[in-house]
Chain A
């Protein structure tokens, strides 16, 4: 009987080389920075161990910034999921003309990546204090958005701006999942006596739940880590974690990089908890999947 040598079993497969750029990229720009953040959060500027940076997070201003960030992320993820899901469902299942779909998906692809200064400028130019829409509404219909309490440079103003990329992102991700709902499931439910609402409650939504959950987690993280749009729109005045973090690490005299590491570490913990929750719920809801 031939004996295979140990070396033949571990023969190098050159196809692994294809993964090298990705692996390098991940190590250099994800793993190493994360490690540096985690280590830096527990170090003094001199390099010795300390918990002072973590304790430094326990100030009203920083705790408030975390709370505002979490609220902003929850609101924009929830609204993004709801509106995006309804739009995707309307286009795919709602009997809308097929020609609507292609432009919507193309627009979603563009809009989901439209963020930062251009997005902030676009919204200031339309819904800002002297924006086109603001003035048009005031002049044509006598509607004064500011007098009605709307301010683009506020929490809800930021929510509206964030939804500009959150909704399209939801559409892009959830559309394939909605397409995966088989027509036969709806018909089988109907022929068994179920109403449309019963079909959605008992079949469609449970099937879509893992995808909805995953997209919600992604939208939450997308919003939680966003800084460019918020900073471009409001400057340093909005109290959210990414702006606080930016203030600590940008290198001016007031900055404290190690507090910045602690802030970033806090963000990693929160997104980690969110992802852990997502994985736990997903495993529970996917028992029926292969």
Chain B
């Protein structure tokens, strides 16, 4: 049964509809990411769950209780903000204890909870410090401890990693996920960073123009995008224009060369998509798609080499592992790339 339910949620600012018929069911203890570009409505959804924005229509239920009419301080929700939002005039310990203090929790219990929370985030000695004395990563961990100290029903994370540098971001996202699993707290995480969303979440909601385009597990989102937008937004994508010769057998023509995919396709012209890592160097008769073209670019990225190959006007990117015994092909050389029909994504919507 869903712990957090969002039904037919809509939000308009004047004539601008920023969230359109948004629906989501989140199980208890689940980690859900709202992923999308700026202005897609993900933060507005989060702020409606928090109570900072009122929905134009729709329902938000937490543990079966409709919270739409409740003020933020009545919802028992924890939130971590992008810019930390620690109270600068309070020490770390006072920040963490803030929610407990306003709830009237006794001093002894407050202090015990602060110790527990600071240990949880790995900053047991920072209680007397002020926020300005901490690094960005430490401040965000304190913000997490502050949000969790009140034992909220739901934790909302509003792009909490985007203000941090890349290295801290990677380590902190693992920490956040570990703490979330440890506490089993239902979490909604807003981000525009697909790597964060895919690596941390049980499920990802990809949003565009106020609409949830796809709600699925990260593997599904990446490998079987439901819409053209999801396919383009999540990960790198090669787009191949093809003409379907035989829809039932999946015979297609790309740049005058025919290929038998062995799967049904819509008739007419289709746009096919392939992830760069689904293309392999060299011809392979076991794979349905063998494409020959000219190397136009070779990017050495360390463990991976990214090739750009022109195949009958389609500019394809192929990621191949760097192997010291197999140097990358030379620029302007002719290569054959192969791919399995099952890796092909047919872009429809």
| Chain A interface (Cβ < 8 Å from any Cβ of B) | 182, 184-185, 187-195, 198, 202-203, 206-207, 287-290
Q: Taking the nearest CB of chain A, how far is it from the CB of B173, in angstroms?
A: 21
Q: Taking the nearest CB of chain B, how far is it from the CB of A202, in angstroms?
A: 7
Residue of B nearest to A196 (CB): B73
17 contacts between A and B (CB under 8 A): A184-B81, A185-B85, A187-B50, A187-B52, A187-B72, A187-B81, A188-B87, A188-B146, A190-B52, A190-B71, A191-B72, A191-B78, A193-B103, A194-B99, A198-B102, A287-B130, A288-B89
A288 contacts across to B, CB distance below 8 A: 88-91, 130-132
Q: How long is the Cα–Cα vector from A191 to B89 in the complex, in angstroms? A: 18
Interface size on B, residues (CB 8 A): 32
Instruction: Judge whether B98 is part of the interface by a CB distance below 8 angstroms.
Output: yes
| Chain B interface (Cβ < 8 Å from any Cβ of A) | 50-52, 71-73, 75-79, 81, 83, 85-91, 98-99, 101-103, 130-132, 143, 146-147, 150
Q: How long is the Cα–Cα vector from A289 to B254 in the complex, in angstroms? A: 65
Residue of A nearest to B130 (CB): A288
Given the known inter-chain contacts A187-B52, A187-B85, A207-B88, please indicate yes or no for A194 contacting B130, CB distance below 8 A.
no
List 8 tightest A-B contacts by C-beta distance, closest first. A192-B99, A184-B85, A190-B72, A188-B85, A206-B89, A194-B102, A191-B79, A288-B130
A193 contacts across to B, CB distance below 8 A: 73, 76, 99, 102-103, 150
Residue of B nearest to A182 (CB): B85
Q: Taking the nearest CB of chain A, how far is it from the CB of B140, in angstroms?
A: 13
Q: Taking the nearest CB of chain A, how far is it from the CB of B113, in angstroms?
A: 13
Residue of A187, A189, A207 near B98 (CB, 8 A) is A189
B88 touches A191 (CB 8 A): no
Residue of B nearest to A285 (CB): B89
Beyond A190-B72, A207-B87, A288-B91, 13 extra complex contacts between A and B, CB < 8 Å:
A182-B83, A187-B85, A188-B86, A188-B146, A189-B87, A190-B73, A191-B51, A191-B79, A193-B99, A194-B99, A198-B102, A288-B132, A290-B132
Instruction: Give the dominant DSSP class at A's interface.
Output: helix
Q: How long is the Cα–Cα vector from A289 to B87 in the complex, in angstroms? A: 11
B89 touches A187 (CB 8 A): no
Q: How long is the Cα–Cα vector from A187 to B98 in the complex, in angstroms? A: 13
Residue of B75, B89, B102, B143 near A207 (CB, 8 A) is B89
Q: Taking the nearest CB of chain B, how far is it from the CB of A212, in angstroms?
A: 13
B52 contacts across to A, CB distance below 8 A: 187, 190
Which of A193, A287, A289, A290 lies at the interface centre, i.e. has the most chain B CB atoms within 10 A of its CB? A193
Q: Taking the nearest CB of chain A, how far is it from the CB of B183, in angstroms?
A: 17
B132 contacts across to A, CB distance below 8 A: 288-290
B71 contacts across to A, CB distance below 8 A: 190
Residue of A nearest to B143 (CB): A188
A207 contacts across to B, CB distance below 8 A: 87-89
A188 touches B81 (CB 8 A): yes
Q: How long is the Cα–Cα vector from A182 to B103 in the complex, in angstroms? A: 23
B87 contacts across to A, CB distance below 8 A: 185, 188-189, 202-203, 207
Residue of A nearest to B83 (CB): A184
Q: Taking the nearest CB of chain B, how far is it from the CB of A172, in angstroms?
A: 24
Q: How long is the Cα–Cα vector from A207 to B88 in the complex, in angstroms? A: 8
Residue of A nearest to B132 (CB): A290
Q: How long is the Cα–Cα vector from A289 to B90 in the complex, in angstroms? A: 10
B89 contacts across to A, CB distance below 8 A: 203, 206-207, 288
Which of A190, A192, A202, A207 lies at the interface centre, i.e. has the most chain B CB atoms within 10 A of its CB? A192
A191 contacts across to B, CB distance below 8 A: 50-51, 72-73, 75, 77-79, 147
Q: How long is the Cα–Cα vector from A192 to B75 in the complex, in angstroms? A: 9
Q: How long is the Cα–Cα vector from A191 to B155 in the complex, in angstroms? A: 11
B146 contacts across to A, CB distance below 8 A: 188, 192
A192 contacts across to B, CB distance below 8 A: 73, 78, 98-99, 102, 146-147, 150
Q: Taking the nearest CB of chain B, how far is it from the CB of A66, in angstroms?
A: 36
Q: How long is the Cα–Cα vector from A182 to B81 in the complex, in angstroms? A: 12
A198 contacts across to B, CB distance below 8 A: 102
